Every structure is written in structure tokens, then in C-alpha cells.
Amino acid sequence: MEAARRSQAVLAEFMKGHTAGNASNTADPANLGPAMTELSSHLAADPGRMIEAGFNLWQGYLNLWTATARRAVGEPAAPVIEPEPSDRRFRHPQWTDNPAFDFIKQFYLITGRWVHEQVRSVPGLAEADRKKIDFYLGQFLDAVAPSNFVMTNPEVLQETIESNGQNLIRGLDNLAADLERGQGRLAIRMTDLDAFEIGRNLATAPGKVVFQNDIIQLIQYTPTTEKVHKRPLLIVPPWINKFYILDLKPENSFVRWVVAQGYTVFVVSWVNPDARLAEKAFDDYMREGILAAVSAVEQATGVAEVNAIGYCIGGTLLGATLAYMAAKKDRRIKSATFFAAQMDFTEAGDLKVFIDDGQIANLKQMMEQSGGVLDADAMFATFNLLRANDLIWSFVINNYLMGKPPRPFDLLYWNSDQTRMPAKLHLYYLRECYQENSLARGAMVLEGTPLDLAKVKIPVYLQSSRDDHIAPARSVYKATRLFGGPVTFIVAGSGHIAGVVNPPAANKYQYWTAEHLPDDLDAWWDGAAEHPGSWWPAWQGWLAAKSGPMVPARQPGDGRLEPIEDAPGSYVKVRSDQG
């Protein structure tokens, strides 16, 4: 009775949000219908193949039934199929030890494998349609996994019995709270949002904001060594997220670590834009972002030449800016490091399934309705879909089925602290990079200047990560053929975040290097050598050789720029859910 009462409250909150206009006005926002129609026509054209496929599926079920029957009478039976090592959904012992749950698990895995095999092997289907269908069928399969339901998840079922259903009551309370927080849209809490505060226990590296305009605040960090390299270091993070991924806690702060190596470090903190900045474009982010920051660094230090780092989309902008500067004979940036950044988008991974004319048209309409900005929740939902089991369904199980509060986790707090984006900027990026691949083709034009990455002759360091689902290593590697100067390429262990943020003291993961840069990544792997631990020290050795002699350390405010406020500044504290 209590569950029914609370369910009514949850449903009322959901309906309130949707009747208020929060639901999508587009029947097919993913533009999936045409691709599914194409798939259906190709399948119907070869009924013999479908009969064979159906037989193969039933053969898998028969093998599973046979193995289960043998287990039932006490005979040993090897599993017909096992989860991938990275699949955390079925790690509870009962998924293997209990024959009933083992059967459910394997039945699900056999079916899922078969579904993907049919899509990936059907002849004649356009590759873009194949990838889109395969991705969204994967989303459906993730959603209907037996781990997501009370009666087919042994851990949830055990908790429900032992607590007399109190876990479900708590879960409904959590669900209602998330719907209320999202104003009728399900805003799943991934962490305890009250456990963290920017400037108190996140983004705590000491420094000062020394410059700001409509788009950026520029932070200069306080040195921790008596001497520093003469050439300053400018870091350009992505504007899709906030910069403090590089300064979470002191023990995993890249900012603190690189300051301790003897560098004068500056970090761009992008604004969280609202409708007033809707017309800001890619050109503006180059001019008022990177170029303004380079000029400000010179005013702050008296040094005209800098080294630069670009992370993710910040790296793409940095690459475009370097090509612009090369065309203008502007040589103030002397080396560039790219963290998980793409220049060539022909193999940009699963994100490409969201980028076609129909979806971009829907996105444009949605941004117009939001005052000319992309709502932060849209990008948050997109990135979560790329790892749905880890970033959606694991929290559905923990928060709503087990009825537990999410645990405090700084990385997930940062992940939930998304930013808005100007419509003009975002549409340009999607069309010119993901659709047209203009930067790699030499067809991008900024402020009337054609961009050619081959004219960028400075040393370049390309960092990628083996399991990166946003900027795949194969995609990052393509930049080795684009720049005109010396290029160093590495692959780090883990993914888009942990592959970058891997402090040496953690002694985790590994990285790979190779002396030569062949035409493709597969050939590079053949000659790659593995090294344990963090890649940071090796990179620092590369950077030190390009950073000049040691000079007395510079304090924020020593130069021509007066400090404006303490780091981390005010721009980074503007949350999208608070205006």
C-alpha cells in the first residue's frame, strides 16, 4: 500500500513535467526510423538468411538448456556464454552459483549477441545506418537486462525479501526526489551532491584569476618551487565540462602536479553561457578564448612565448587556432600537447550516431526553444548513453531498486556539473568537425582565414587512451598525418578521463610508446612498447626540453595583470541547474 501511494506521487511528478512542455516535440529525435526501414528491407530481401539466423539462435538456446539440465542433475557443464570481463552487471556470485539466475543471465547474453550479429552482418546496409541501429539496439538491450528488474536480479531480490520491501519504498522516495529535482525529467543522482563544493574540497589549487572577458576567466596558479621554467604553460580544457577535472583532489590534481614540476601554469575557465551569449561562435572562442589567453599570459609574465595543452574539444579548438596562427605568422605558441583530442573525425566513435541532418535539425529547434543555448542536460544524457550500464543502469539499481543513496565521488560530481553551450558554436562544431571533417581536409575557415594543419611546424604531443569512447585512439592517431612538425604519440591505459588523470603516485594503468609513426594505428601497435604507471613523467621530460631555462618563480600579480579574485574563480561555480 505504501509503495502504491508513493508510486502515485512519482507518476504525478512525471506527468507534471511533461504536461509543462518538457517532453520532446519530435516523435523520432534520434532519426532512427529511416535506418530501421532500411534494415527491414534488407532483411526481408533474404528470407533464407533469416531462417538460418533463427536456427542459430534456437541452437544457442538448446545448448543453454542442455547445460542447465546437466547442472540440475549434478553434472559439470561449461557456460555457453560468459559476460565480457568489463561487464559489471553479473558480478554477484548468485549469477553464476544459482542455476536459475545463471540460466537467465546466459539467455540474455545469447539473445543480445545474436541481435548484434544480425545487424552487423546484414549485407547492403549503409555503414552509418548499421552503426546507428547497432548502437540503439544496444541501448534497448541494456535497458531490458535482467539485472534491472527486482525478480531477476538476485541481489535486489534478496534485499527485498530481507527488508520486507523497504528497499523499494526507499527507492521510490529516491525516484520521486530525482523527478522533482529534474522538474518532471528523471535527473538521476550519481553522487551525493551535498558532499562537494568547488573551492572547498574540489578545485583547491591556490592561485588567482588574472584576466577575464565574456567567455573566459584565466587562472594563474601559485608556484610551489623557487624556480620555474621560463616559458609558461597554458591549459585549454573543454567547454563541454568544467576545468576542474584537472584539479579534483590534491592527490590526483594534474594542475598541482605540473606546478610542482616547476612550471608557471595558467588554466582557461570557460563561462557557463546563457542566452546572452547565444551568438558566440567558434571564431569567438578562438579569439576571446585561446588568443586572448595567450596575450594575457604575456602580460602576466612578460614572456611572449608559451607552451599549450588542449583537452578534448579544447584540443580541437587549439589545433584550429594553431593553424590560424601559422597562417598569420603568429609564433607565440611553441609546442602543443593534446589530451584525447581529435583533428580528423572520420572515425570519431559512437558519438557519430548522434550527428546526422535530421538530429542536428532537431537539436537546432531544441536550442532555439531554450533561448539559443544547448541545455546542459542534453550533453549529459548523450555522454551517459555512451556508457549506459555504468552511468545510468547501475544507478537505477543502486538508487531505485536497492534503495541506497549514491556514495560521494568527486569524479561523478564533476560529471554531473555540466555546462550549457551557445547554439551557434555548437552547431558549427557538429557540422564542420563531425559531418564535414573540415579541419582535417583543410576546408575550415576562421575569420576569413583558411586553416591548414600541415603549416603547424611546432612540436606536438598526442595523448590518447586505449578505452576512450569519446575520442578513440584510432581517431586521435589520424592527427599524426596532419601536423607539419615533429609529432609524438602515446596511448594510455583506461579511458577518456582516467587515461588522462592518472597521477604517478597512484601507480595505476600503463602507457605505450613507439619510435615510428606508420600509416595506421594497427601498424603502430605492432611496434609499441608498454610502460607501467603514469605517462605524466615521460611527457614532462618532453615538455621540459621545450620550456627554457629556470628562472625565479612568478607570483600571480607580479606582472601587468592585477589579480581579480582567488582561484578557482566565479565562472566555474555557475551551475546549469541554478542559472
CA distance 465 to 476: 9
574539444: which residue's cell? Answer: 313
CA distance 427 to 430: 5
Q: Cα dist. 392→151, 295, 356, 395, 530 in Å?
A: 20, 42, 24, 6, 33
CA distance 431 to 352: 11
Read off the C-alpha cell for 472. 578513440
The answer to whether the peptide bond before residue 405 is cis (omega within 30 degrees of 0) is no
Three-state SS for 201? Answer: coil
Is the Cβ–Cβ distance between 496 and 376 less than 8 Å? no
Q: Cα dist. 26→19, 23, 365, 426, 535 in Å?
A: 15, 9, 10, 20, 45
Is the Cβ–Cβ distance between 325 and 466 less than 8 Å? no
Read off the C-alpha cell for 233. 604553460
Of 80, 175, 290, 312, the active-site residue reads: 312
Read off the C-alpha cell for 562. 592585477
Is the Cβ–Cβ distance between 460 and 336 less than 8 Å? yes
CA distance 137 to 201: 40
Read off the C-alpha cell for 181. 529535482
- 433 labelled catalytic: no
Secondary structure (DSSP) of 498-554: TTTS--GGG---EEEE-S---SSHHHHHHT-EEEES-SHHHHHHHHHTTS-SEEEPP
In angstroms, the first-to-last Cα distance of the chain is 39
| CA 429 to chain centroid | 16
Read off the C-alpha cell for 65. 538448456
| CA 190 to chain centroid | 15
557: left (phi over 0), alpha (psi -120 to 50) or beta: left
Please give the DSSP secondary-structure letter assigned to residue 263: -
Active-site positions read: 312
